[in-house]
Structure 1
């Protein structure tokens, strides 16, 4: 049922890049995450997500909240230890090992950083609207740097921290829907030129960078709007009230290798058939986990 008054503008579909990509990956997972109430129970937390969350928290404090005098290795170590959580790890020994590994990873990343450098934004929420959608997201860090065109002005660079075990490339940076939408959002909110996106991979202390142009940004925006249109149509069907069979038709499972990492794998028969459910610590770079009682 259309509840808009005649002549009123169309209601925009509000989404983040994560929400759009969840819809593209698996519509059943989207339904469980955003629409079901109460939401179905999720599986246990993932250890690699714990690592990522703590590292992001410490870097946000370092660049966004601490004065220059506090940006020291000792402060970083203390913050890593006070912020550490044990969710998802096999046992206490593995948790403590990863606390130390993660601390060394952050210290290595920050080793050559200027303690007096102030980014333009840290954990900054940006957004913009099109004729069809309202898109928003939170950026790990926005740097403002001297423009590379020799004009003497400045330009923005979008920085995203990554802690996964897979090394990244410029193709990863250029193909990221989220990073492209962050460029458009930063332009809109901060009114500065922006084309550069950078994935800072902490495990290898490398930067995968790419520069967008208007054509590449336009392709990403078109893709995002198409996703938003499809998600909005599916949500409209949901709002009408669906039988279980109709819900499975509108929000079907889309089995893939990603199913082993899904928070809802235990309640999805198709996902369990497609890929075995993984242990909560399976995302860590550990070829041969050692039980606590055999670690010596």
Structure 2
């Protein structure tokens, strides 16, 4: 459920209404808490959002996906690596951490799992060899949250953005958001700049840690690519405006649903090719009719 916060509300126990006085007290604007994952899910498919965050009990899901397992293993291994003393952040230790974190969930068979385990070991070993890992990040899987305004020039907060960044570095007195990628496509500067998630992390990190943050990076482990982008105040504001628009639509749909509205109308399915690998495909007839089911290992990087 979308969570909302009423800040500074004073309950008068009904005195105002009972006595008929109007003290001119304005109720503060409700701030909707949003994360990049929630916003992206709602934009991609409102029905999937409803199934993920609102329906209880949660509708039936598919089983695990191999690409998600692979990504989680690499993320967890790199986080564990940076938790170690600098002297122990070696390629050999990175390889061992992949082995410790490994799971076979979603892979076609043991042979395929073994191939990708070996690839993941190679990725993290090369990452440690090619990057300076001697500096301690200021945040690892760090949760950041901040009230923001979507109005030009600032103003009263209109929503609270929050999320968990893979890594937050401090370089030259400024923060840098680092996001690890293990997918099939090699990212570029445009993708880094267009990422609403990275922009929201940058704004929230800057407010939470009280340091400038305009640079964001996508670190693609399979190719060793680092796609970096430098935001301006204007580009960050555009991302916040888009997030604010989606948050408003999301809040209206949720409030109307709570008031008895029709969930299928308020949170319609948005069918496309992604229905093939949607987690809620078993519970969505529209998705089943849109695309044939993908195999759990089809989205692995080649």
TM over 0.5: yes
Cα offsets for 1:212-262 (capped at 9, x unmatched): 1111111100000111111111111121234xxx21111110011211121
Q: 2:237 & 2:94 partners in 1: Cα distance?
A: 40
C-alpha distance in 2 between matches for 1:80 and 1:39: 31
**Equivalence map 1:137-152=2 (5 Å):** 137-146=163-172
Alignment partner, residue 149 of structure 1: none
Matched, 1:220 2:239: yes
Q: In structure 1, what is the Cα distance between the partners aligned to 2:132 and 2:232?
A: 30
Q: Residue 289 of structure 1 corresponds to which residue in structure 2?
A: none
CA distance in 2, matches of 1:257, 1:27: 15
Distance apart, 1:115 and its partner CA = 4.5
Q: What are the within-5 Å matches in structure 2 for residues 57-136 of structure 1?
A: 57-63=76-82, 65-130=83-148, 131-136=157-162
Q: Which structure 1 residue ranges, 4+ long, deviate > 6 Å from structure 2?
A: none
Aligned length: 273
1:293 maps to what in 2?
none
Indicate which of 243, 246, 251 corresponds to 1:232: 251
Counterpart in the other structure of 2:68: 49
- The alpha-carbon deviation at position 74 of structure 1 amounts to 2.5
Runs of at least 5 residues in structure 2 that lack an aligned partner in the other structure = 1-5, 12-24, 149-156
RMSD: 1.5
- Find the partner of 2:288 among 272, 282, 292: 272
Q: Contact 1:132–1:229 at 8 Å: present in 2 too?
A: no
Hey, what's the Cα distance between the residues in 2 that align with 1:209 and 1:115? 18
Alignment partner, residue 185 of structure 1: 204
Q: CA deviation at 1:121?
A: 1.5
Unaligned runs of at least 5 residues, structure 1: 147-153, 287-296
Matched residue SS, 1:111:
helix
- What is the alpha-carbon distance in structure 1 between the residues aligned to residue 133 and residue 180 of structure 2? 18
- Aligned residue in 2 for 1:150: none
Q: Which of 37, 46, 56 is residue 27 of structure 1 equivalent to?
A: 46
Specify the alignment match of 1:13 in structure 2: 32
Q: What is the alpha-carbon distance in structure 1 between the residues aligned to residue 197 and residue 250 of structure 2?
A: 17
Q: Quick check: 1:161–1:200 contact (8 Å CA) kept in 2? A: yes
